[in-house]
Structure 1
């Protein structure tokens, strides 16, 4: 157990870098920034695995050693406990007066009657009765075996919890996706359907739970101060046979009230706005896009983003890269202009407006490198391959005409819902082991192991009257707090001291 406690402490210590340092599986960009800012120290931490703590060899080794140590500790204890359950209570000590709790008295009742009364009083205790010398008889009683049961349940639950968490890390997955609240659909058919995806160690994304979600509407209510009151996404979903029959089932998805389907949970994490722009190119063809812009101020939902367009009808890659269009800037749900600077006064779309820069040139989308949907590639701007050709503040229905005849029209705005899909096949086991851990701990802390012995010895007084001397002894196997009162009640029930005995040994007091 000492080894297990040391390893448990080391595991907690090893997990601290995972909370204090950025982790590559959560934010690779933050890791690269940290390494660049800290030079050789950042590179050393990277080589040692401090940016992938929970997947590192040393963390896994501590985890596995703790698992093995707990097994090595609990298996022998379980066998010993099973042996103790089959055994009998310890025989009555010869000198009960040496025990921490002791009472003695005389009674006119016979030995048999005293033993019968002791058995009735100690009903529920584990008892052993034996004959002793000179006609004396004794009872050994023990109680509190559930304390060790609770102790074992606690440690086995901890072992199961560690194992369930480890399996969960292997087979769980978690993905985030933004879905427009205009009837757009999302299907859990593969990793490509997500904006970001964090798989478990044994998940490759090819065998995900099949279901689809359609976001029909989004409702947001704000207090007069601008603080959010509640969010609700009115969705429909289908899974199992519904996918074959085309049946959609309605559901009101709210924060902290996930949709649970087929072992997965769909959470509403956030929301925002997606401006709609239509670009009319010089040849008359149009392209319309509604792309989400991310909030940069959660108090007013002032958002930033970039909506990108490829020119139609151009097959030459070099020419197409020269005429790509990006509409980038700020969106305000309730516009406030301070000069020409756009700000937002309220998070609800009461008076939407955008402050945009129209960029033309090579967006870098065909370079093979990943690119954020919320911003343009600044390297293209720095190299002069992407230039700003217009800047304007627009409200819905307004437009910008470029020098080559291209028209950028601001159509309006849609709501989007930010969803998270979580799959953890061990969550029920984790909950069960956690509950068992708490119950085992409470049991082991509240129940005490204690023993009591009763010896009845027949004697003859000077006048020839037969009497019985009853001696009780008590011992708490663990903490003695509270056992003195219980022992006193047992002694009061079993002893009927004579007046001179009552003066010598007051009732309820141990000698």
Structure 2
């Protein structure tokens, strides 16, 4: 026995990889491959849809800040926790943006190689026929009249709309002879992959268009009283009650237009459910502003007004009670203040109003601030009283009335801080700087009198509407991308990718058998007319093997392959109905 000693490699002889490749390039390559896989793209798309759910279930600060703050106050620790992790600003949060950006990168890295591969396949010839066609899901073999070249031409003529090619190869038969075989390769359904790529690239374009719209667009909301007096000119962000702009919008280059709300109409069903809201709007744009000319239009829910590249939406409506405060010296202050609807079925609304004292009525600033008037309460369009309790029975103004608390003191008008238009500052009330003087129910035209002679009168009401001005420069691209997505999806679902091969082998004289017709030689004479049919002397026969492969169907080709073979070869269909 002979023992062979093997030397283990010395540590110094083993080549060590470059640290840059090992710790930087290779991990980066593996990370890129994982990120750009189709599985990762699908996971990120599902994660993006899941991340958007809180934006639909929870109030969003950009849409309704008042409702958001009320939701936080009602839910305590959970509400504050949601606020810290960005649940009330989902679509502008860092985690939603990260998912959005990763999905964008993943789609780009995933689709680019597929696009290059598809471009190569469009220029490639159909693949040659497999060696053993009998292993294909669909396979048939027939003996037909004609030479291989004639049958190949016939098959090519029947495959209209297919990409096809014809090859002539030498094949060795079982008996050792070599024959010339004609093969036809055909394929169709290239548009399926093209539709798939269109769908994914349209999805990518949709993401880009939405991102561009958020970066270059803006949205502003404003409550306007529908009396034809109060208006809005889109010249500054200061004219809006709330304004949300994209990252690349500074508010200095807004589209110029002006508008006023002349009237508002609301239709309700007998149950109190809203049926239709419609506002008549006058607007000026372009040269109309300089010429002081107005154009009229109707704005309804889901039917915005499009002017100057912006869209004007009708978001909401309500009532704006009018109050007149008469101070002891006889001077009056009148305000029409919007009240916020609390119940859509009855339009029971709540709100607040603040009135400053006339100049010179009180000797100093402290006295003036202590005698300001504030109102807070409810408005009922169709008031029903149950003792001292007021409710509303219908949303139309058939019996308007208010139930208000009258406060006197410092209303906070001099602080310069923004205040909630629908409620008073609770801190001022808790600190005793704003004192409640009266709680009273007033119908239209009625008034109440305070101890110092100040009177508060409910004069009537106006209708107000909430309008949203929306500017999205990428909205047309979003529509085009969505249509392209739908078209690409339909193409990828309806078009089938299929391949067909035909191998045409000529029949030699020996393969015909002894009964095969044979042309007589010059030394032979046919003994009778029935021994050889002259019409078959020049006939050539071939064996045609045809196979089909459906690249997109798990069940194979389906039931139409035999009929297709019969049509191509001119044979009688197996399932063809027999005529009588």
- Give CA deviations for 1:129-181 in whole Å, capped at 9, x if unaligned: 12233343221100000111011111111111111122222122222211111
**Residue number in structure 1 paired with 2:227:** 182
Kindly indicate whether residue 220 of structure 2 is the aligned counterpart of residue 170 of structure 1.
no
**Secondary structure at the counterpart of residue 132 of structure 1:** strand
Q: Do the aligned residues in 1 keep the contact of 2:262 with 2:281 (CA within 8 Å)?
A: yes
Partners of 1:466 and 1:360 lie apart in 2 by: 115
**Residue number in structure 2 paired with 1:130:** 167
Q: Do the aligned residues in 1 keep the contact of 2:352 with 2:424 (CA within 8 Å)?
A: yes
Kindly indicate whether residue 266 of structure 2 is the aligned counterpart of residue 220 of structure 1.
yes
**Residue number in structure 2 paired with 1:317:** 365
- Give CA deviations for 1:364-414 in whole Å, capped at 9, x if unaligned: 222233211111112222222111223322222222222222222221111
Change (3 A) 1:480 1:355: closer
User: Quick one: which of 58, 63, 72 aligns to 1:34?
Assistant: 72
Partners of 1:53 and 1:216 lie apart in 2 by: 37
User: Quick one: which of 327, 333, 339 aligns to 2:375?
Assistant: 327
TM-score by length of 1: 0.91
Kindly indicate whether residue 300 of structure 2 is the aligned counterpart of residue 251 of structure 1.
no
Partners of 1:310 and 1:360 lie apart in 2 by: 10
**Secondary structure at the counterpart of residue 559 of structure 2:** helix
- Cα displacement (A) at 1:31: 5.5
Change (3 A) 1:340 1:160: same
Q: Do the aligned residues in 2 keep the contact of 1:293 with 1:304 (CA within 8 Å)?
A: yes
**Secondary structure at the counterpart of residue 149 of structure 1:** helix
**Residue number in structure 2 paired with 1:72:** 109
Aligned residues: 501
**Secondary structure at the counterpart of residue 560 of structure 2:** helix
Change (3 A) 1:66 1:193: same
Kindly indicate whether residue 403 of structure 2 is the aligned counterpart of residue 355 of structure 1.
yes
User: Quick one: which of 415, 430, 443 aligns to 1:395?
Assistant: 443
Partners of 1:364 and 1:332 lie apart in 2 by: 27
Partners of 1:395 and 1:256 lie apart in 2 by: 35
User: Quick one: which of 492, 499, 504 aligns to 1:456?
Assistant: 504
**Secondary structure at the counterpart of residue 369 of structure 1:** coil
TM-score by length of 2: 0.81
**Residue number in structure 1 paired with 2:432:** 384
**Secondary structure at the counterpart of residue 483 of structure 1:** coil
289-298 vs 312-321, greater mean Cα deviation: 312-321
Partners of 2:315 and 2:253 lie apart in 1 by: 24
- Give CA deviations for 1:184-242 in whole Å, capped at 9, x if unaligned: 21222222211222222222322222111111111122233322222211111121222
**Residue number in structure 2 paired with 1:341:** 389
Partners of 2:69 and 2:422 lie apart in 1 by: 20
Q: Do the aligned residues in 2 keep the contact of 1:187 with 1:193 (CA within 8 Å)?
A: yes
- Cα displacement (A) at 1:48: 4.6
Cα root mean square deviation, aligned: 2.4
Change (3 A) 1:10 1:385: same
User: Quick one: which of 257, 271, 280 aligns to 1:234?
Assistant: 280
User: Quick one: which of 472, 476, 483 aligns to 2:550?
Assistant: 476
Partners of 1:214 and 1:97 lie apart in 2 by: 79
Q: Do the aligned residues in 1 keep the contact of 2:143 with 2:542 (CA within 8 Å)?
A: yes
User: Quick one: which of 143, 149, 152 aligns to 2:197?
Assistant: 152
Q: Do the aligned residues in 2 keep the contact of 1:332 with 1:343 (CA within 8 Å)?
A: yes
Q: Do the aligned residues in 2 keep the contact of 1:108 with 1:468 (CA within 8 Å)?
A: yes
**Residue number in structure 1 paired with 2:464:** 416
Partners of 2:90 and 2:316 lie apart in 1 by: 28
Kindly indicate whether residue 536 of structure 2 is the aligned counterpart of residue 491 of structure 1.
no
User: Quick one: which of 39, 57, 80 aligns to 1:2?
Assistant: 39
Partners of 2:264 and 2:58 lie apart in 1 by: 36
**Residue number in structure 2 paired with 1:305:** 351
487-496 vs 19-28, greater mean Cα deviation: 19-28
**Secondary structure at the counterpart of residue 415 of structure 1:** strand
Partners of 2:341 and 2:332 lie apart in 1 by: 28
Matches within 5 A, 1:432-451: 432-451=480-499
Q: Do the aligned residues in 2 keep the contact of 1:358 with 1:389 (CA within 8 Å)?
A: yes
- Give CA deviations for 1:402-435 in whole Å, capped at 9, x if unaligned: 2222222221111111212222111111121112
Change (3 A) 1:313 1:38: closer
Kindly indicate whether residue 475 of structure 2 is the aligned counterpart of residue 427 of structure 1.
yes
**Secondary structure at the counterpart of residue 131 of structure 1:** strand
- Cα displacement (A) at 1:478: 2.0
Q: Do the aligned residues in 1 keep the contact of 2:151 with 2:569 (CA within 8 Å)?
A: no
Change (3 A) 1:381 1:21: same
Partners of 2:46 and 2:343 lie apart in 1 by: 41
**Residue number in structure 2 paired with 1:62:** 99
Partners of 2:191 and 2:70 lie apart in 1 by: 54
Q: Do the aligned residues in 1 keep the contact of 2:137 with 2:557 (CA within 8 Å)?
A: no
**Secondary structure at the counterpart of residue 166 of structure 2:** strand
**Secondary structure at the counterpart of residue 64 of structure 1:** helix
Change (3 A) 1:496 1:331: closer
